[in-house]
Structure 1
Amino acid sequence: MGHCLSCFKNQANADNSTSQRNKDEMTEIVTTHQVPAVMVSDYPQEEPLLHNNENSIIYRNNTNLQNANTLASVGEPCPEVHPQKTQYCPDKSQKTFYQKLPSIPRTMSSLGTSEPRISEYKINQLFDQYKDSLEDAILAEGIENLCNDLQLNPDDFKVLVLAWKLNASQMCRFTKSEFVQGLKNMKTDSIKGIQLKLNEITCGLNRDSESFKDLYRFTFKFGLDVSTGQRILPTDIAVLLWRLVFTNNEPPVLDKWLSYLEKNTHIRGIPKDTWYMFLNFSEFVGEDLGTYDDTEAWPSLFDDFVEYENDQMNQNVTKSDIKIQD
């Protein structure tokens, strides 16, 4: 009918050759680009199936094969690759389909910490609440309002601690930079937070002598009037600040020392060296001043004070002797 048997045979051979060539190409593609090398080597090749007499290669279940590839990358069983075998995928010495994910940096572990996050915006709002209407600073009235909200008296020891932590340059004045940076250093942005921090810092001063020394030195600078270039602390201000800074750890000699300064009105001021040395002096001498050595390099004001106190003690002893003799 126009075609002989040999023509059909030749056509069939040509179709078979084309089909076999397509099968080989597709098998090579699947083996090279989809199946990990270990899977090709460990398991026998699946028999490809022709679908609808088209020249395409389809494995029994592409979805299962992809799942097997995924499991192979993490070391899970791969039963779908070969139905008669269940074995674990290769160890670290063999290649995996997916690259290893990078490890999480150490800094990421801090994301879950409970430390509160400080808001500079809230600190600025807090500053605006107390700042002066004409000047970009918290002045006497604003500090008084702040103390009221903190439930503190303006002459409370904790107010001095707050000024120390804000690194305030002078009394009755907190600049914006001092207030904002100080609260950031204290890690707080609210009135409640300031209260908690002041309690914590105040308790710590009783245990940390170095921190107290830093507060003590700050107090002298804090009492100066920097607007006039003052370098010597007025005696009346010095007396008030000595009482304030020693609120929680008053040395035995303090009352006698302050009483001496108040009686001797000719003492106009306290230099920085005298202020600094008094801390050592108060730790060195006892209440009776018996351990004081006037040959040491003490300020002359301390010599005068000890001499005055010794005279007072001698007078008391003499008067007592007279009464006994009578």
Structure 2
Amino acid sequence: MHSDAAAVNFQLNSHLSTLANIHKIYHTLNKLNLTEDIGQDDHQTGSLRSCSSSDCFNKVMPPRKKRRPASGDDLSAKKSRHDSVYRKYDSTRIKTEEEAFSSKRCLEWFYEYAGTDDVVGPEGMEKFCEDIGVEPENVVMLVLAWKLDAQNMGYFTLQEWLKGMTSLQCDTTEKLRNTLDYLRSFLNDSTNFKLIYRYAFDFARQSKYKVINKDQWCNVLEFSRTINLDLSNYDEDGAWPVLLDEFVEWYKDKQMS
């Protein structure tokens, strides 16, 4: 009995620490207010849009008289144009093959971490995180798990990997690295943030000791949205669950110590 009680207390303290981190993350995201400036390209290309392509061409290029080519010149010109078009097509084709998503390449990439299994486990996940340059506890890994619709924390099945990476159009480590900022951007959207937050609850439910229910989990989100980071506007007589009253008391004691 004593060991079970200690385990429950440990789990509760772990969840309280998580609540504190979620509270800080949410307010930090609001302070950062990351938005993309989409007006710059329009500003830069505005002068190009001020005239039609035919008008601009006529102003820049004066008319010139046609020259009747000699038979040798005509054959040479046709060959030159043909070679030029071929080189352009060949270059585009190679570039497209390299950039296009490949299911085969994605599958090979999966087995770099899964080995002979059809699932990436803890060891493979550790190497995967190292390769993409993020810590396993980084919030972007939660977003990635959400995009892959992973059902178990710390595991990616073959089906989850192929479906999720296809939707992200990632089949290499480099492509996923370049997608990390895109994944983080989901946290800046209130609707997606709520979906990711609720998804995280299913991960939390995998704990042996259930110390928080879904209603309490949703109350934590509302708490982090409405209560100041210093907890100055928290009303202890409000309709908050006991769990959050205990969290506020624990957090204030921790700040004072």
Distance 1:154 1:304 in 2: 29
Q: CA, structure 1 residues 189+284, in 2 after alignment: closer, same or farther (shift >3 Å)?
A: same
- Please say if residues 161 and 198 of structure 1, whose CA atoms lie closer than 8 Å, have aligned partners that are also in contact: no
From 116, 122, 146, the equivalent of 2:105 is 122
Q: How many residues align?
A: 157
Quick check: 1:283 aligned with 2:225?
yes
Q: Percent identity?
A: 31
Matching residue's letter, 2:188: R
SS of aligned partner of 1:217 = helix
Q: CA RMSD in A?
A: 2.8
Q: CA, structure 1 residues 124+295, in 2 after alignment: closer, same or farther (shift >3 Å)?
A: same
Quick check: 1:186 aligned with 2:172?
no
Distance 1:160 1:275 in 2: 16
Matching residue's letter, 1:216: Y
Distance 2:164 2:187 in 1: 21
SS of aligned partner of 2:160 = helix
Unmatched segments (≥5 aa) in structure 1: 1-113, 233-268, 317-326
1:236 is aligned to none
From 180, 186, 190, the equivalent of 1:198 is 180
Distance 2:162 2:251 in 1: 47
Greater share of helix residues, 1 or 2?
2
Structure of higher CA gyration radius: 1
What is the Cα deviation at residue 282 of structure 1?
A: 1.7
1:216 is aligned to 197
- Please say if residues 119 and 156 of structure 2, whose CA atoms lie closer than 8 Å, have aligned partners that are also in contact: yes
Q: CA, structure 1 residues 132+275, in 2 after alignment: closer, same or farther (shift >3 Å)?
A: farther
Matching residue's letter, 2:222: N
Distance 1:290 1:187 in 2: 44
2:124 is aligned to 142
- TM-score, length-scaled by structure 1: 0.43
Unmatched segments (≥5 aa) in structure 2: 1-95
Distance 1:304 1:177 in 2: 41
What is the Cα deviation at residue 307 of structure 1?
A: 6.3
Matching residue's letter, 2:243: L
Distance 2:251 2:165 in 1: 45
SS of aligned partner of 2:129 = helix
Matching residue's letter, 1:154: P
Matching residue's letter, 2:146: W
Residue by residue, what CA displacement relative to the aligned partner does 1:102-126 show, whole Å, maximum 9, x if unpaired? Answer: xxxxxxxxxxxx8953211111111
Q: CA, structure 1 residues 169+308, in 2 after alignment: closer, same or farther (shift >3 Å)?
A: closer
Distance 2:215 2:175 in 1: 36
Distance 1:132 1:274 in 2: 39
Distance 1:173 1:272 in 2: 23
Q: CA, structure 1 residues 284+177, in 2 after alignment: closer, same or farther (shift >3 Å)?
A: same
Residue by residue, what CA displacement relative to the aligned partner does 1:4-41 show, whole Å, maximum 9, x if unpaired? Answer: xxxxxxxxxxxxxxxxxxxxxxxxxxxxxxxxxxxxxx
Within 5 Å, which residues of 2 pair with 1:1-326?
Answer: 116-133=99-116, 135-202=117-184, 204-225=185-206, 232=210, 269-286=211-228, 287-292=230-235, 294-296=237-239, 298-306=240-248
Matching residue's letter, 1:126: W
Distance 2:173 2:243 in 1: 43
What is the Cα deviation at residue 222 of structure 1?
A: 2.1
- TM-score, length-scaled by structure 2: 0.53
Residue by residue, what CA displacement relative to the aligned partner does 1:212-245 show, whole Å, maximum 9, x if unpaired? Answer: 121111112123338xxx583xxxxxxxxxxxxx
SS of aligned partner of 2:215 = helix
What is the Cα deviation at residue 132 of structure 1?
A: 4.1
1:106 is aligned to none
Q: CA, structure 1 residues 305+140, in 2 after alignment: closer, same or farther (shift >3 Å)?
A: closer
Higher relative contact order (CA 8 A, sep 6+): 2
Q: CA, structure 1 residues 279+124, in 2 after alignment: closer, same or farther (shift >3 Å)?
A: same
Q: CA, structure 1 residues 193+292, in 2 after alignment: closer, same or farther (shift >3 Å)?
A: same
Residue by residue, what CA displacement relative to the aligned partner does 1:242-268 show, whole Å, maximum 9, x if unpaired? Answer: xxxxxxxxxxxxxxxxxxxxxxxxxxx
2:35 is aligned to none
Q: CA, structure 1 residues 132+212, in 2 after alignment: closer, same or farther (shift >3 Å)?
A: same
- Please say if residues 166 and 181 of structure 1, whose CA atoms lie closer than 8 Å, have aligned partners that are also in contact: yes
Distance 1:303 1:155 in 2: 27
